[in-house]
Amino acid sequence: MLSKEEYEVLKLLYKNKVITKGELLSKMRWNRSKFSLENVIKSLIEKNYVRTLPQVSVNCLVITRQGELAVEDYES
């Protein structure tokens, strides 16, 4: 099950498909720290909902099909 923070990050990725960590942080407008966002991203990578694109940049994130399904399940 997704936490609220994980859902918020996945929802942005679901809309954009590809995003950098910097863009994600600015769009989230969290009152939380960057460290908190890094923990959420790490959790999503471990769940195989998000991947990095090392060919482009380690800061570039892309949502996986499993991540898309998790967003759809969370919303239903």
DSSP states of 25-73:
HHHHT-SS-HHHHHHHHHHHHHTTSEEEETTTEEEEEEE-HHHHHHHHH
Predicted pLDDT at 49: 96
Task: Please report, in tens digits, the pLDDT of each residue of the chain (76 residues total).
Answer: 889 889 999 999 999 989 988 888 888 776 667 778 889 999 999 999 999 988 777 789 999 999 999 999 999 8
Residue 60 belongs to what domain range? Answer: 4-75
CATH number at residue 32: 1.10.10.10
Predicted pLDDT at 74: 93
SS3 category, 20: strand
Q: What is the model's pTM?
A: 0.85
- When divided into structural domains, the chain yields a total of 1
